[in-house]
Amino acid sequence: MNKQLNRFATIIWLALVILTIGTFLIGEEVTAGKTVMLSVLLISLIKGQLIANYFMGLRHVSWLWRGIILGYFVIVGGMIAIAYLN
Amino acid sequence: MPPSFVSIDESCDEAGILGNLMNTKTMLVNETEDLPGDFAIWIFILAEMLVFGVMFIVYAFARSNQIEVFNESQLTLSRAMGTLNTIILITSSYFVVRAVSAIKSGNSRQSAHWLLGTIFLGGMFVAVKLWEFNEKFSAGITLETNDFYMFYLTLTFFHLMHVLMGMIILACIVYKLKNGDYSAKEHFGVETGASFWHMVDLLWIILFPLIYIIR
């Protein structure tokens, strides 16, 4: 059981590293623009959810806590997007 | 099977139904677990996230008034170093997950080793950040150079302080693990420290693209 959980955590870690490299490549290769900004923010949202739910272990607790973390990323990310789109 | 087909004593039947109800209730309660670690750390985590969240939003709106200045200054940052530090923090968070998993299995020695690995990675993060700061200070960049550098230096320094605080917390936990203070049944402190470290990672997940990538 523990081995399975550890293997799952390793997969999540790998996904986070791939998403980070993806963010770096977007920053290096792609010219700045609204699509790039929104894509990078979306990647951050996904990474945040992976860390909160699988590393912090929030997937086992009340939906309220998962909602708070998701809401945080949506609100902060959304406000950043609004500021950049202005 | 209808209950009338079961031939048992009425009092036993009642106890059985009650027992089943109790089991169902226990199962429902256990569907959601308690927050990992001390509840107080979660209040602290939310407060810290709120403070950082406000600073992220203020940065974004401040940028909208000086887009050229922010974009030009941002290009002087090393995105490779920012990415390296992101991978270091993500890996350190993974090490913390393994440390919690190890202590839950009753292996305090292994748990301490994973946490020592985390502290080492934390040290690497600090070293990379100090190299970046040194590079900027050597180029004559200070808080007063422009608004972008003011935000860059303030936000990353504030975050760096949290990394250092996390390293101290984890070092205390390693000390307690070595003393045999935690076990498979009692590992509340390990989970509390782990939650704090994950928060440091979570904040960097927004900070990194905001300061280094998005323009």
State how far residue A8 is from chain B, nearest Cα, in angstroms: 11
pTM of the predicted model as reported, rounded to 2 decimal places: 0.87
Q: Chain-centre distance of CA B215, in angstroms?
A: 26
Q: Report pLDDT digits (tens) over A33-86.
A: 888 899 999 999 999 999 999 999 999 899 999 999 999 999 999 999 999 997
Q: Is B198 in contact with B96 (CB distance < 8 Å)?
A: yes
The angle subtended at Cα B127 by Cα B171 and Cα B164, nearest 5°, is 35
Q: Report pLDDT digits (tens) over B24-62.
A: 444 444 456 789 999 999 999 999 999 999 999 999 999
ipTM: 0.94
B68 and B14 within one domain: no
Q: Chain-centre distance of CA B107, in angstroms?
A: 22
The whole-angstrom separation of Cα B205 and Cα B83 is 10
Nearest to A60 among B32, B42, B209 (CB): B32
Residues of A in contact with B57 (CB under 8 A): 76, 79-80, 83
SS3 A61: strand
Q: Quick one: tokens of B209?
A: 């693209």
- The CATH number linked to B133 is 1.20.120.80
Question: What is the radius of gyration, based on Cα positions, of chain A?
Answer: 15
Domain count, chain A: 1
Q: Report pLDDT digits (tens) over A48-59.
A: 999 999 999 999
* A-contacting residues in B 75-104 (Cβ below 8 Å): 79-80, 82-83, 86-87, 90-91, 93-94, 96-98, 100-101, 104
Residues of A in contact with B98 (CB under 8 A): 6, 9
B104 and B207 within one domain: yes
CA atoms within 13 A on the CB side of A78: 6
Q: Quick one: tokens of B210?
A: 């905001």
Burial of B8 (0-12, 13-18, 19+ CB in 10 A): exposed
3-state helix, strand, coil in chain A (%, to 5): 90, 0, 10
Beta bridge partners of A61: B33
Greatest distance between any 2 Cα atoms in chain B: 90
* B-contacting residues in A 47-76 (Cβ below 8 Å): 47-48, 51-52, 55-58, 60-63, 65, 68-69, 72-73, 75-76
Residues of B in contact with A10 (CB under 8 A): 94
Residue B110 is predicted with a pLDDT of 96
Query: CB B83 to CB A48 under 8 A?
Result: no
Residue B4 is predicted with a pLDDT of 42
B44 in reach of chain A (CB within 8 A): no
B16 and B62 within one domain: no
State how far residue A26 is from chain B, nearest Cα, in angstroms: 8
Place of tokens 């590293």: A17
B129 and B100 within one domain: yes
B66 in reach of chain A (CB within 8 A): no
B155 and B115 within one domain: yes
B212 in reach of chain A (CB within 8 A): yes
Question: Residue type at B135?
Answer: E
State which residues of chain B have pLDDT below 70: 1-32
Residue A4 has pLDDT above 90, yes or no: no
| Chain A to chain B Cβ contacts (< 8 Å) | 122
B52 and B25 within one domain: no
B106 and B54 within one domain: yes
The whole-angstrom separation of Cα A33 and Cα A40 is 11
- Domain extent, residue A79, equals 2-85
B122 and B174 within one domain: yes
Nearest to A9 among B49, B98, B209 (CB): B98
State how far residue B179 is from chain A, nearest Cα, in angstroms: 24
B65 and B142 within one domain: yes
Closest to A65 in 3D by CA, of A43, A45, A46, A49:
A49
B161 and B175 within one domain: yes
- Domain extent, residue B10, equals 1-32
A11 in reach of chain B (CB within 8 A): no
Residues of B in contact with A35 (CB under 8 A): none
Domain count, chain B: 2
DSSP string for residues in B137-202: HHTT--TTS-HHHHHHHHHHHHHHHHHHHHHHHHHHHHHHHHTT---SS--HHHHHHHHHHHHHHH
Residue B20 is predicted with a pLDDT of 52
SS3 B6: coil
